[in-house]
Structures are given as structure tokens and as C-alpha cells.
Chains A and B, each alone.
Chain A
Amino acid sequence: MSPKSGSNSTLTELSSQLATAVEVAANSVVAIHARRRIPSSGIVWRDGVIVSASHTVRRDDEIPVTLPNGDSTVATLAGRDSATDLIALRVQGGGAKSQTAPKADSSSLRVGSLVLAVGRPGKNVSASFGIVSAVGEGWRTWQGARIDRVLRLDLSVYDGFSGGPLVDASGAVLGLNNSALARGTPMALPAAAVDRVLDELLERGHVRRPFIGVAVQPVALSASLVKQHGLANNGGLLILSIAESSPAEKAGILLGDVLLEADSHTLARPDDLLDALSAVASNAAVSLKVLRGGTIKTVSVTPADRGETE
């Protein structure tokens, strides 16, 4: 078999499509000069809004950015979320005119999909190539952020690539690459998660992390209790401690209370409580169904925002 020109048409076509994908993506990839040594990458996500990996941006004001067209500008900080390591920056004037990144339909993400990581660790873009090696179920980072899905990648996220896009074979953005999200394992934050966090960052500068100030442990309830109160579930969350002057203390939650429901959502695991609190609107109260001394009570608690104090 002699692969002279022409006989490799499929491979050549693939190669050319990949290079085109990089060119498409490059139109919205910027370099961010806010740390020593190699600059990091960022994506023009919406008009005048750039997202990147928060850990690569080591300053909070006058952040120098090189735009896709080579122009330099200065961005301002719109907000950071340490839990997803996402940062949002705003650019004015010419910078705001940079093309926003086309987004891929994340539901098309499958293990084995060909993907490219695109970075601009300087003036020019560069690329690395691989496949999606796993599409994880929702998980919670240790700071408590809920990420709907996480993309584990079989490709190299090189120095300066964090904050840049993971793109499909057409150049559409699937997520934001980050080598620091999971201790050096190449991962990407899916575009849907970026959108959700970005909405909050642009609205209030941080991501709301509602908390009521309790430590809980799952406990099983006796069959007679379940029967007596007609409970939907035979478990709940036992209150082990209550933080001083926390929303829970102010609302009169007591040690030994068992939380059964939050706004009608059953509480079986500690994550259920976090999920229920995340769904509570800003400054609104959550209605907790509590088992105390054999009787059911309803307590209304207004969660505080941990994100504000970060």
C-alpha cells in the first residue's frame, strides 16, 4: 500500500477538518497575562465576557488580555467561583467585539468522541488532540459546587491551556479545560456548567452557596414512627451540631432534631439537603419538616450565602 497523495483521502480530510476546527475556535480564544511565566487561556463566552480558569488569574484588577486578533486590552474582574475554579472577566471597547465561541450541544458528548484542546499561551494558538475518556455523572467538588457532568479527557492540557476551550471536530465548544480541577487529571467543565456559574457571577459577582449551619448524619427511623406519621421515607438527617448564630440556630433548630423534608424534597443523604438549599431562591426561606420528640414540626429557615464570604 502506497499512501501517495489522494489515496489517504479520509485521513487527509480528517486532518484538514481538525485544523479548521482549531481555526474556528481560535477566533474566540484569548491569552490572559495574570501570572508569572506562561500566560493562560480564556474564552470569549458572551459579548464582552471572557471566562477562564480562576487559579490561573493571580490578580483582581487591570488584567492584561491578548485578543484573538492580536490586540491587547485590559479586562476587569466580574467574579470568581472557587468551587468550579471559574473566573469571569469583562472587556470593553474593541475587545467586546471579539467573536463569541460557538457552543456544541453537550448532549452529543460521548465517550470516544474526538476532541481538541485549544490554547493561546502567548500570541498564537496551539492545539492538542485526544478523545473524551469518560463522561461522569454529577459530582460535588469538595467546596460544595454541584457540577452536572464532568468530562475526563485523554489528551494533554499543556502549560497555558487551562481556561481554554475543549472543542469538537467542528470547533464548537464542549467545555472549559482545567488541569487543576482534579489534581492534574485533564478535565473539562461542561459548557452548561460554565453557563450556569457565569449567570450567577455576572448577576452578583459570586456563586450563591446557601447554607443553614448544621452538621447532619443520615439515620433510619423506626417502622412505627414511619407508620404513625405516614412518612414517605424511613430515614432522615439527624442534627449533630449547629453553628453559632447560624440561620438554623436563629430558626430554633435543636440538636437531636431529625430533618425529614426540605420544601417537600425528601432528605435521605446530606447531599439532598445541599441540593434542596441550592434550589431556594435568594433571600427566600426553606420550609423544613422536622421530627422532634416524636412529633412533626415545620420550621422555616432563611439560608445565608456562604459564597459571599469567600
Chain B
Amino acid sequence: MNISMLGSARAVSSNVNGLSELLRQAVVEVRSGESGSGTGIIWGGAGLVVTNAHCIRRGSGLQVDASGKWRDAHALAYHPHHDLALLAAPSVSGPLLELRDPESLRPGELVFAHGHPLGIRDSLAMGVLHAVTRDRSKSPRWIVADVRLAPGNSGGPLVDAEGRLIGVNSMVVNGLGVAVPASLVQRFVDRALSERAA
């Protein structure tokens, strides 16, 4: 056995542990009424959570759980077309995730999905980028990844090897994970906040 090769496998493993620690602090669990739960990403460091619109049942009590404590939250904005929701959750905070420009993504690079699939808290899945699909104006529409997702991963982060946010995991199509690109999420949040300020 080549020791240096074993060393790099161990280093990779340890790097992945580090990602898991980072993401654990950057997400919440989202619960809406009696319906199942999803994952949310603490946005901008504190007070805001981004999740999937389909994780939220409108008109029912909305709660987020960060570090083992359920707290009330309320929805600020929805974007049903992109399946996004922005929540106000004043008491939550977490690390600021850098955003990854979808134009720089390469098929085959490593991606990681963090979330609470099937109610299992803080699960990490590893895979590779499969493709970036584009809309008619050629801008990124969906990030498609060869990564195993399950119900409960919805609304959670898809990140690259350095922990930069690639997108928000939203659905599974033909076994592939599909996420909303971080650029679209950023635009949605910016617009929602400026509309509220106006």
C-alpha cells in the first residue's frame, strides 16, 4: 500500500468532515403545520432563511429548528416558479456561505448535498455535477447533480468542494438531484428585500 496515496484519501475524508461541520451550522430544519419537514439555508449570516416554496404550507404555523430549538418564523416572500421561499427567523444565525457562479461549474466536479432526508438530521451526500440546464435566454435554470437526495433534502444546500453554495436542492428527476442555481436565489432574495423596503 502506497502511504502517500492513503494519506490523500484520508485528507479528502477529513476535508469532507470539515464541510459537514460548516453546513451543519448553516442550515435549519423547516416545519410547517403537520406536514413533513424540509431543510432551510441561513441566508446572509442571520435572520433570514431560504428554503423551497413546496416545504411551506401557507397559512399554517411555521417553525425553524437551529441547534435543537424550534423557533417561530414567518414567510416574507415566495417564488413559486423557482420553488423558493424567504423566511424571517430573527433569532437564527450561521456562517455566511460564499456563492458559486454557476457559469464556472464543470461536469464531474465534486458536489455535496446537506439536509435532513427522511427526517435524518444533518445528512451529507457526495456526488458530482451532472449538467447545468439553461433557459431560452441561455442563463442557468437548473443545476443537475449525480447525488442521492430524498424527501427532506428539499431547501437544503448543494455546495462545491470549498463549501461555496451552488444551489438549493429542490427535486429528484430520474434519480438525479436538481437544484435552483445560487444566482437565481440571490436575485430572488435581493428583490424580495428591496420590495419590502420600498
Contact = CB atoms under 8 A, between A and B. Distances in A.
A20 B19 CA distance: 22
A126 B161 CA distance: 18
Interface string A1-28: 1111101111110111011111100100
A5 B100 CA distance: 12
A3 B21 CA distance: 9
Contacts, number: 106
A12 B174 CA distance: 28
B162 A126 contact: no
Q: Which DSSP category, helix, strand, loop or mixed, fits chain B's interface?
A: mixed
B161 A12 contact: yes
B18 A15 contact: no
Contact of B15 (A8, A18, A22, A155): A8
A2 B106 contact: no
A15 B131 CA distance: 15
Given A7-B18, A127-B128, A128-B128, A158 B175 contact: yes
B12 interface: yes
B127 A11 contact: no
B110 A15 contact: yes
Nearest to A22: B108
Given A3-B18, A3-B19, A159 B107 contact: no
A194 interface: no
Nearest to A112: B9
Interface of A: 1-5, 7-12, 14-16, 18-23, 26, 116, 118, 124-129, 155-156, 158-159
Given A127-B128, A128-B130, 4 more contacts: A3-B162, A18-B110, A129-B146, A155-B146
